[in-house]
Amino acid sequence: MNASGTRNIPPPPILPAIVYDELRSYLRESGSTLSPSEALIKAVQCWIAKGRADAIPARGYQWKQLFLPEGTRLRMRFNERWYAAAIVGDNLVYNGKPVSPNQMVVKVAGDGRNAWNEIWVLLPGHKQWANAALLRAQLMKQTAKVPPTAAEAMSIAAKAMSDALSTALTLVAHANDQAKNTLERRLPKYRRAWDQLEDVE
């Protein structure tokens, strides 16, 4: 036993002593009835469960480029009234039926409207509604900034070099053709008799 009245238990071989002491202090201060070993087991189990939960694909609705996760709310204003829908599972549900964004707009306001411009979106965890067209534009801007992979960059560079070489070869062929024409025009067979200079002695 040490001065604080607790036994000196060696830490598990895979855990640094400082971390083990910190865990024991926390358990004691928080009044937990768990032993350090039980706390470690629970922590590892929670960590594994969280990793598995994160690996499960998110449910939601894929609207062209824009993914709307489950719990997203959508609304549209028409004739001074708001019409609401929500993402439930993998469906956009309006009036209890799965629809597409365009079908929702047609049901509310009839044909001739662009769903991207008419629908407002409230994503889970957000406080501000955003226009769907604005969200799509922001997404496109972000994806445009993504640098190409090494293979894509090499492919782009190879195409640029190929285009430059092709242009250079075309210019060389044109220059050769021009030079040939200039020389041929100076040959005696292409000159008029009166246009030839006489040799001066």
Residue 2 pLDDT: 54
Q: How far is CA 87 from CA 33, 55, 133, 135, 163, in A?
A: 43, 21, 18, 16, 48
In the chain, where are the structural domains located? 1-56, 60-144, 149-178
Amino acid at 149: T
**Cβ–Cβ < 8 Å for 71, 93:** no
Q: State pLDDT tens for residues 80-139.
A: 999 999 999 999 999 999 999 999 999 999 888 999 999 999 998 889 999 999 999 998
Q: State pLDDT tens for residues 152-178.
A: 778 888 888 888 888 888 888 777 777
- Within 54-152, strands assigned E span 60-63, 66-69, 73-78, 81-88, 91-94, 97-99, 119-122, 130-131
Does the pTM surpass 0.75? The reply is no
Dihedral pair phi/psi, residue 72, rounded to 5°: -70, 140
Radius of gyration (Cα) for the chain, nearest Å? 37
